[in-house]
Chains A and B, each alone.
Chain A
Amino acid sequence: DQQVKQNSPSLSVQEGRISILNCDYTNSMFDYFLWYKKYPAEGPTFLISISSIKDKNEDGRFTVFLNKSAKHLSLHIVPSQPGDSAVYFCAPPRYDKIIFGKGTRLHILP
């Protein structure tokens, strides 16, 4: 899906450090952005969302920042833990469904 791009296919971060996953979009009409996390051979699980009227949403170790002028989102995970190793998808809802982009594979290094 070309309306949302996660330009880094993979990212490696040392355990305990901050992981920053980026997402760019082209459609300024999106109301919400969702972040999903997916382990191999499992369904995606919802992680955190942000409304387009906000610029930040925080939930524990996870914070999502939205820069509407730049059409850019970022997910910050701090401190990174081994269980955070997964594929992360940035996905705005399209009416009643989710269209996934390519995602970013996060590796947390010991």
Chain B
Amino acid sequence: GAVVSQHPSWVICKSGTSVKIECRSLDFQATTMFWYRQFPKQSLMLMATSNEGSKATYEQGVEKDKFLINHASLTLSTLTVTSAHPEDSSFYICSGPTSRTNTEAFFGQGTRLTVV
């Protein structure tokens, strides 16, 4: 299957700082990628759709100024958590798109963000 690589796997940052998480598709190109967030003991919540060369599409309730998404190339999407606060601590996961030939989407390994 397709490979999605996410970096870093975990990061600890101080309140008020910004953190960037990278999501790379290693063996395919994607005009869209997706970012999810998981709270403890909860399901994966779709945050936004990253669109190559254009603005991201955010799900309802997700602050676009807090979670900046950039999709500068067909193999890289980044999520920047700006002015992080402890409540932003979570597990963030990216994925590639589904398609007609590969109906399943492939996910990165996730990034554990802890804001102290």
Contacts and interface: CB of A to CB of B under 8 A. Distances in A.
A and B: real partners? Answer: yes
Interface of A: 32, 34, 38, 41-46, 49, 89, 93, 95-103
B109 A43 contact: yes
Interface residues of B, number: 27
Contacts, number: 62
A93 B105 CA distance: 8
A104 to B, nearest CB: 11
Interface of B: 1, 4, 6, 32, 34, 36, 42-46, 49, 91, 93, 95, 97-99, 103-110, 112
B105 A98 contact: yes
17 contacts: A43-B108, A43-B109, A44-B107, A46-B104, A46-B106, A49-B103, A49-B104, A89-B43, A95-B98, A96-B32, A96-B97, A97-B49, A97-B105, A100-B43, A100-B44, A100-B45, A103-B43
